[in-house]
Amino acid sequence: MYWSVQRLLKTLVLMAGIISLVGGPRLVSANPEEPITSKTARSTKDKQNALHEICEAVAKNGFFSGAVLVAENSQVIYRKAFGLANREWEIPNSIETKFRLASVSKQFCSMIIMQLIQDGELNLNDSITNHLPSYRQDNGERITIHHLLAHQSGIPDFTSSFDYRNTTARLLFEKDEFIKRFCSGDLTHNPGELYSYSNAGYVILGRIIEKVTKRSYEQNLRDRITQPLGMMNTGYDDPHKLLSKRASGYTHGPFRVQNAPYIEMNPAPGAAGAIYSTVDDLFAWDRALTTNKLLKENFRNLMFTPNTSVPETQAAGGRQHSNYGYGWRIYNVMHPTTQEKTRVMNHGGAISGFRALVTRVPSRNAFVALLCNQGDPPGSNGVWLTLNRMNTEIIHVVTEQPYKIPQNPPRSQDQRLYQLVCSEGVDTAISWFEEKGKKNPWGGSFATAASELLRSGKLEEAIRLYEYDVLQTPKKVWLYRKLANTYIQIGQLEKAANIVDQALAIRPGDERLIDLQNEIRCSFSPQRPRP
The domain that holds 452 is classified in CATH as: 1.25.40.10
Task: Indicate if 334 and 418 belong to the same structural domain.
Answer: no
Instruction: State the chain's mean pLDDT as an integer.
Output: 88
- pLDDT at residue 327 is higher than 60: yes
- pLDDT at residue 526 is higher than 60: no
Task: Indicate if 360 and 452 belong to the same structural domain.
Answer: no
Q: Residue range 54-60: average pLDDT?
A: 95
Q: What pLDDT is recorded for position 167?
A: 60
- pLDDT at residue 33 is higher than 70: no
In a domain, 17, yes or no: no
Q: What is the pTM of this model?
A: 0.83
Q: What pLDDT is recorded for position 83?
A: 97
Q: What pLDDT is recorded for position 101?
A: 98
Among 45-54, 259-268, 304-313, 348-357, where is mean pLDDT lowest?
Answer: 259-268
The domain that holds 155 is classified in CATH as: 3.40.710.10
How far, in Å, CA of 134 to CA of 403, rounded? 53
How far, in Å, CA of 132 to CA of 204, rounded? 9
% the chain with pLDDT above 70: 89
Domain count, the chain: 2
Helix/strand/coil for 276: strand
Contact between 379 and 165 under an 8 Å Cβ cutoff? The reply is no
* Per-residue burial over 1-26, b = 16 or more CB atoms within 10 Å of its CB, e = otherwise: eeeeeeeeeeeeeeeeeeeeeebeeb
Q: Residue range 155-169: average pLDDT?
A: 69
Task: Indicate if 387 and 478 belong to the same structural domain.
Answer: no
Cα torsion angle, 60, 61, 62, 64, sign: negative
- pLDDT at residue 39 is higher than 50: no
Contact between 431 and 414 under an 8 Å Cβ cutoff? The reply is no
Task: Indicate if 382 and 437 belong to the same structural domain.
Answer: no
Using pLDDT thresholds of 50, 70 and 90, give the confidence band for residue 158. Answer: confident
Cα torsion angle, 479, 485, 490, 493, sign: positive
Task: Indicate if 198 and 280 belong to the same structural domain.
Answer: yes
- pLDDT at residue 62 is higher than 70: yes
- pLDDT at residue 99 is higher than 60: yes
In a domain, 73, yes or no: no
* Of 158 and 274, the one with more pLDDT: 274
Q: Residue range 257-264: average pLDDT?
A: 88
Asked which of 398, 427, 446 is the last residue of a domain, the reply is 398
Q: Residue range 327-337: average pLDDT?
A: 93
DSSP-H helix ranges across 304-406: 382-398
Domain with 379, as residue range(s), is 99-398
* Of 466 and 164, the one with more pLDDT: 466
